[in-house]
Amino acid sequence: MTSYLFAIAWSNDDGAFIAEIPDLLGRIVDGSTPEEALREVLIVEDLWLEVAREDGRPLPAPSRRLVGVTA
């Protein structure tokens, strides 16, 4: 299973925690807690990869850069 780095940060503008997977073309979700944002971003990752595989698209290699978690 391929796993991609993600970032979770609080957004004052959105009033929510924002989670992003930069390697998957900036897939972005939100949640009212960091845990909710994490659950949502993992769902998006699974769905994105499933569709890419079904369509026969190559999967991007996970980046090596570090992404932090802030609250």
Is the CB of residue 24 less than 8 Å from the CB of residue 60? yes
Sign of the C-alpha dihedral, residues 35, 44, 49, 67?
negative
Tell which residue, 4, 33, 35, has the closest CA to residue 20.
4
Tally of domains within the chain? 1
Q: pLDDT of 9-62, one tens digit each?
A: 999 999 999 999 988 876 899 999 999 999 999 999 999 999 999 999 999 988
What global pTM score does this model have? Answer: 0.77
Residue 66, domain CATH: 3.30.160.250
Give the residue numbers spanning the domain of 36: 1-71
